[in-house]
Amino acid sequence: MNWLKYTPNRIVLLSLLGVIVSGVSLFYLNHAIKHTTGYTYDKFIFNKRLEKAKALEELYGVASTNYYANPTKDAGTIKAIEKIGKTGWYRNKAGVWKHDDGADLLGIYQTLMLISIWLLIYIVYHYVEKNRNDQLDRLRLETTVKDLELKTIKSHINPHFIFNSLNSIRALVDENPERARKAITELSNILRSSLQASKSETVSFEKELNIVKDYLALEHMRFEERLQIVFDIDEKTLKLHVPPMMLQTLVENAIKHGLSKRVEGGLLKVTALFKNGILELIVQNSGQMDTVIKKEGFGIKSTEERLNLLYHGKASFEIKNLDHTIVQSRVRIPISI
């Protein structure tokens, strides 16, 4: 019944239903009145109104006068005639009660009123339903856009890192086959996590930390003794959940824009704390931050966007120079346990 999808068709159908319901209602009302009084609905109404007209004559004191033949112009008589006329009954000049045929339009008027009420109910319902559907469509669209944005951001891995890792592994194949096999495993773990990142909004911090350790192990092959790594991890943080690949992005950003530019290398420290319902992740590296990188770097931008999308402004991210030798990135995430 695709034709029901169109609003005009619905209105026509509802109008027909209104007429049918009104007709059925009047039929049963007529049947009930006839069973009780012996009159049909129309006859019953006519008699009731005739009784009312006679009662109005008595009320206004014109019953014993010939107001119908020679109506006076006094206010009382005029008002009485108007009131009596509204019942649909009147006396002709001979004093005989007559029914105004125009009053028969009342039934039509009542039916039209019922249909109008049905239409009004439908219009209000249609407006509320349309507004609700519009809100649902908007929410679905926002959710779809959010998912697409998150998948785009989470799937990013620096291709230079992959290229450098493969070069390092190639150099180790003959020199240290065992280390080369381990490096291949570490790289595959990182790539697998990157592919799986789009399937979930969060992962355990323990899993994220293991990926970071694999990443740093591969980078250590390239930097060797120039890269000093320190972990300061609160055990309470390991079972908490964080956005996938976020810590890895911060660490990668620290190496790419900090340590890799220093001939002498430097220190990279990863700290994780949990206090008062807040998970705090801190990455510190030797070097100085370029203001252009701070504004335009993908790692910084993606971190801010992901936190905003996932935690609706309740999480925070900052990156700054602590002094002339250390750059610090810090993420604060509210955790509900």
Residue 210 lies in a domain: yes
- The pLDDT score that the predictor gives to residue 268 is 94
DSSP label at residue 265: -
- The pLDDT score that the predictor gives to residue 73 is 64
Do 76 and 206 fall into the same domain?
A: no
Q: What is the extent of the structural domain holding 108?
A: 2-112
Residue at 116: amino acid letter? S
CATH, residue 185: 3.30.565.10
Residue 55 lies in a domain: yes
Do 88 and 173 fall into the same domain?
A: no
Judge whether 288 and 312 are in contact, CB under 8 Å: no
- The pLDDT score that the predictor gives to residue 51 is 80
Residue 143 lies in a domain: no
Q: Give residue 125's Cα distance to chain centre.
A: 20
Strand-pair partners of 53:
none
Do 83 and 205 fall into the same domain?
A: no
Alpha carbon distance 46, 80 (integer Å): 19
Judge whether 154 and 249 are in contact, CB under 8 Å: no
Structure tokens at 144: 């779809």
Alpha carbon distance 267, 228 (integer Å): 5
Residue 16 lies in a domain: yes
Do 306 and 181 fall into the same domain?
A: yes
Residue 120 lies in a domain: no
Residue at 109: amino acid letter? Y
Structure tokens at 275: 């206090």
- The pLDDT score that the predictor gives to residue 68 is 63
Other Cβ atoms less than 10 A from the Cβ of 178: the count is 8
Do 193 and 275 fall into the same domain?
A: yes
Of 112, 143, 178, at which residue does a domain stop? Answer: 112
Do 320 and 206 fall into the same domain?
A: yes
- The pLDDT score that the predictor gives to residue 89 is 74
Helix (H/G/I), strand (E/B), else coil: 320: strand
- The pLDDT score that the predictor gives to residue 183 is 85
Distances from the Cα of 16 to the Cα of 5, 173, 279, angstroms: 17, 83, 63
Alpha carbon distance 88, 104 (integer Å): 9
Do 103 and 162 fall into the same domain?
A: no
Do 259 and 203 fall into the same domain?
A: yes
Residue 146 lies in a domain: no
Do 159 and 107 fall into the same domain?
A: no
Do 306 and 160 fall into the same domain?
A: yes
Do 304 and 185 fall into the same domain?
A: yes
Query: What's the total number of domains in the chain?
Result: 2
Q: What is the pLDDT along the chain (337 residues), one digit of tens a residue?
A: 554 454 555 655 656 666 666 666 656 555 555 555 555 555 656 677 778 777 777 777 676 566 666 666 666 666 766 777 677 776 776 777 776 665 555 556 666 777 778 777 877 877 788 888 878 877 775 665 566 555 554 555 667 677 777 888 887 787 888 888 888 888 888 888 777 766 777 889 999 999 999 989 888 888 888 999 999 999 999 999 998 888 988 998 888 888 888 888 899 999 999 999 999 999 999 988 876 555 455 567 778 887 888 888 899 999 998 888 899 999 999 987 6
**Residue bearing tokens 């439908």:** 122
**Residue bearing tokens 């009596």:** 84
Residue 145 lies in a domain: no
Residue 138 lies in a domain: no
Do 195 and 98 fall into the same domain?
A: no
